[in-house]
């Protein structure tokens, strides 16, 4: 069942390559995405045991449902978007998107670290053509930086995995295997210096993919130049998958008794990410780069949440969900704005609410959500994380986080308000907010609104299970 979930998007990709019908190819996306979500929900009702290669534990289940939901929204958006971009064609983007889905699902359900590596590298390779969709100088530059930086990063992650296997070898574990459950079971036997080295490299490698500072330099370029829905998928889906990979490393370290070192490393990188993001978000003239830095900031918040532990981990899990859906909403509406104004810079973009009522207001609402205003979901998750920080006595860290959140709010607010407020502008393009282009952002926004007010019981349970998985000590 799980194998089918992973493989059928590949079949869809194959069909998309040979199907000569343009609209048919576009509609293949929401079809596969809907089937994926359906199957994912069915699997979640009855997860089955963890196999040696594939399996869904609590963390994977959470990331799977979030990613699948986000993908469905972006797929529906894609039909409308690709209809508008007939000049660029969809013969490459549709198969690549489907392969990307398959790779993400494989990475989420991998129980063998080597398979995880393969899947994450596959996501890098399949998402490079997606960033290059616009085919101009800037997107080539962005694609090259993305490809090279992420490939090198993932190569380092592979080195980290080999160090962990070596830790098992030196520790006398037989048979030496990178199968995750067997590693967890024999975690206390692993040789400590090699385990630490492996963790550092895994953190650096998958941190590059996730976009934690100082490894984030490809993010503004890649998210800035990619089409809106690709940005949404990368910011919401791929970062969650990379975070999952890092969490596996944290799980291993915690099982080996060295959870503190792992948490401190995450805390440090998280704070640095928030700092860097805050600095670069002030006076940012490009709305998509703004969103990219916002993604860096929220990855920092996730890292801080896991780094503090306890209640903050629960908050981080909730934030994973909120961040993915809100980023989806923001990127999709920003994509609409960019298509309408034929530019993403503040020099040309202003008065979005007046010109494009739906997309503009959704963008503004998304900005309020992502910066943590109630009654939206991110407010609840950030509040929980802050409660966890102050509750465990880290006063200065909490104050710093609050300060950075304020800086981000001001910086992002300046740009977002300039873009959305103002009088209606006469558009040069004939862009209109069609149904397919706005339904996904609106749905995401509504979900975030609901999550901000009421956390349904099954979701609470799932989040708690996921958080508990990270606290398992020997």
Partner 1 sequence: MANLLLLFVLLINFYTLGSARLVACIRAVALQGALLALLPLAIHGPTGHALLLGVGALLFKGIFIPLLLLRTIREVRIRRDVEPFIGFVPTLILGLLVTAGAFIFADFLPLAHEHHEGLFVPTALATMFCGFLMLITRRKAITQVLGYLMLENGIFVFAVLLSAAMPLMVEAGILLDLLVGVFVMGIVLNQISREFSSLNTERLTALKE
**Interacting span for partner 1 (CB under 8 A) from 17-25, 121-129, 254-262, 421-429:** 121-129
When the beta carbons of 174 and 473 are compared against partner 1, the nearer one is: 174
Position of tokens 């059928």? 8
Residue 7 interacting with partner 1 (CB under 8 A): no
When the beta carbons of 193 and 474 are compared against partner 1, the nearer one is: 193
As measured in angstroms, the least distance from the Cβ of 174 to partner 1 is 9
As measured in angstroms, the least distance from the Cβ of 84 to partner 1 is 23
222 to 241: interface string for partner 1, x by CB under 8 A: --xx----------------
When the beta carbons of 143 and 371 are compared against partner 1, the nearer one is: 143
Residue 170 interacting with partner 1 (CB under 8 A): yes
**Interacting span for partner 1 (CB under 8 A) from 66-74, 112-120, 261-269, 387-395:** 112-120
From 90, 191, 273, 326, residue interacting with partner 1 (rule: CB under 8 A): 191
**Interacting span for partner 1 (CB under 8 A) from 125-133, 249-257, 417-425, 448-456:** 125-133
When the beta carbons of 77 and 293 are compared against partner 1, the nearer one is: 293
When the beta carbons of 66 and 167 are compared against partner 1, the nearer one is: 167
From 18, 46, 87, 175, residue interacting with partner 1 (rule: CB under 8 A): 175
C-beta separation of 164 from 198 below 8 A: yes
Write out the chain in H/E/C secondary structure.
Answer: CHHHHHHHHHHHHHHHHHCCCHHHHHHHHHHHHHHHHHHHHHHHHCCCCCCCCECCCHHHHHHHHHHHHHHHHHHHHHHHHHHHCCCCCCCCHHHHHHHHHHHHHHHHHECEHHHHHHHHHHHHHHHHHHHHHHCCHHHHHHHHHHHHHHHHHHHHHHHHHHHHHHHHHHCCCCCCCCEHHHHHHCHHHCCHHHHHHHHHHHHHHHHHHHCCCCCCCHHHHHHHHCCHHHHHHHHHHHHHHHHHHHHHHHHHHHHCCCHHHHHHHHHHHHHHHHHHHHHHHCCCCEHHHHHHHHHHHHHHHHHHHHHHCCHHHHHHHHHHHHHHHHHHHHHHHHHHHHHHHCCCECCCCCCHHHHCHHHHHHHHHHHHHHCCCCCCHHHHHHHHHHHHHHHCCCHHHHHHHHHHHHHHHHHHHHHHHHHHCCCCCCCCCCCCCCHHHHHHHHHHHHHHHHHHHCCCHHHHHHHHHHHHHCCCCC
Residue 209 interacting with partner 1 (CB under 8 A): no
Residue 143 interacting with partner 1 (CB under 8 A): yes
Residue 189 interacting with partner 1 (CB under 8 A): no
Residue 27 interacting with partner 1 (CB under 8 A): no
- As beta bridge partners, residue 110 has 54
Site for partner 1, residues 270 to 329, rule: CB under 8 A: 280, 284, 289
* Alpha carbon distance 154, 458 (integer Å): 34
From 89, 193, 357, 391, residue interacting with partner 1 (rule: CB under 8 A): 193
**Interacting span for partner 1 (CB under 8 A) from 68-76, 155-163, 329-337, 360-368:** 155-163
* Alpha carbon distance 9, 272 (integer Å): 37
**Interacting span for partner 1 (CB under 8 A) from 114-122, 322-330, 351-359, 440-448:** 114-122
Residue 155 interacting with partner 1 (CB under 8 A): yes
- As beta bridge partners, residue 428 has none
From 77, 132, 206, 367, residue interacting with partner 1 (rule: CB under 8 A): 132
When the beta carbons of 114 and 268 are compared against partner 1, the nearer one is: 114
As measured in angstroms, the least distance from the Cβ of 157 to partner 1 is 10
From 37, 43, 121, 438, residue interacting with partner 1 (rule: CB under 8 A): 121
When the beta carbons of 155 and 310 are compared against partner 1, the nearer one is: 155
Residue 417 interacting with partner 1 (CB under 8 A): no
State the residues that interact with partner 1 by CB under 8 A. Answer: 112, 114-115, 117-118, 121-122, 124-125, 128-129, 132, 135-138, 140-145, 147-148, 151-152, 155, 158-159, 162, 165-166, 168-170, 175-178, 191, 193-194, 220-221, 224-225, 280, 284, 289
């Amino acid at each position: 069942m799980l194998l089918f979930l992973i493989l059928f998007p590949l079949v869809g990709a194959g069909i998309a390559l040979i199907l000569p019908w343009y609209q048919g190819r576009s509609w293949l996306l929401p079809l596969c995405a809907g089937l994926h979500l359906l199957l994912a929900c069915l699997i979640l009702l009855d997860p089955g045991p963890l196999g040696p290669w594939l399996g869904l534990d609590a963390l994977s289940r959470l990331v799977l449902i979030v990613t699948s939901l986000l993908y469905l929204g972006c797929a529906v958006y894609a039909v409308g978007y690709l209809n508008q971009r007939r000049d660029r064609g969809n013969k490459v983007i549709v198969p690549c998107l489907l392969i990307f889905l398959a790779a993400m699902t494989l990475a989420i359900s991998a129980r063998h670290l080597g398979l995880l590596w393969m899947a994450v590298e596959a996501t890098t390779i399949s998402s490079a053509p997606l960033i290059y969709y616009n085919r101009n100088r800037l997107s080539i530059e962005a694609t090259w930086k993305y490809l090279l930086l992420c490939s090198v990063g993932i190569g380092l992650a592979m080195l980290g995995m080999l160090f962990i296997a070596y830790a098992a070898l030196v520790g006398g574990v037989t048979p030496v295997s990178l199968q995750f459950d067997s590693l967890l079971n024999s975690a206390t036997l692993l040789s400590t210096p090699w385990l630490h080295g492996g963790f550092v490299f895994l953190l650096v490698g998958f941190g590059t993919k996730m976009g934690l500072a100082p490894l984030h330099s490809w993010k503004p370029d890649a998210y800035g130049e990619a089409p809106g829905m690709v940005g949404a998928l990368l910011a919401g889906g791929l970062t969650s998958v990379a975070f999952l990979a890092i969490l596996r490393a944290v799980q291993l370290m915690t099982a080996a008794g060295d959870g503190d070192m792992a948490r401190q490393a995450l805390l440090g990188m998280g704070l640095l990410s928030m700092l860097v993001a805050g600095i670069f978000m002030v006076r940012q003239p490009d709305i998509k780069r703004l969103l990219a830095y916002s993604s860096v900031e929220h990855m920092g918040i996730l890292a801080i949440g896991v780094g503090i532990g306890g209640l903050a981990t629960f908050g981080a899990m909730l934030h994973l969900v909120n961040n993915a859906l809100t980023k989806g909403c923001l990127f999709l509406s920003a994509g609409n704005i960019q298509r309408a104004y034929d530019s993403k810079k503040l020099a040309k973009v202003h008065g979005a609410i007046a010109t494009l009522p739906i997309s503009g207001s959704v963008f503004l609402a998304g900005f309020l959500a992502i910066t943590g205003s109630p009654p939206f979901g991110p407010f609840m998750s950030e509040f929980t994380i802050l409660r966890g920080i102050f509750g465990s006595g880290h006063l200065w860290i909490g104050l710093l986080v609050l300060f950075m959140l304020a800086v981000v709010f001001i910086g992002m607010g300046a740009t977002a308000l300039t873009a959305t407020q103002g009088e209606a502008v006469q558009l040069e393009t004939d862009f209109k907010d069609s149904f397919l282009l706005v339904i996904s952002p609106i749905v995401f926004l509504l979900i975030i609104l609901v999550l901000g007010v009421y956390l349904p019981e099954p979701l609470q349970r799932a989040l708690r299970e996921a958080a508990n998985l990270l606290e398992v000590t020997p």
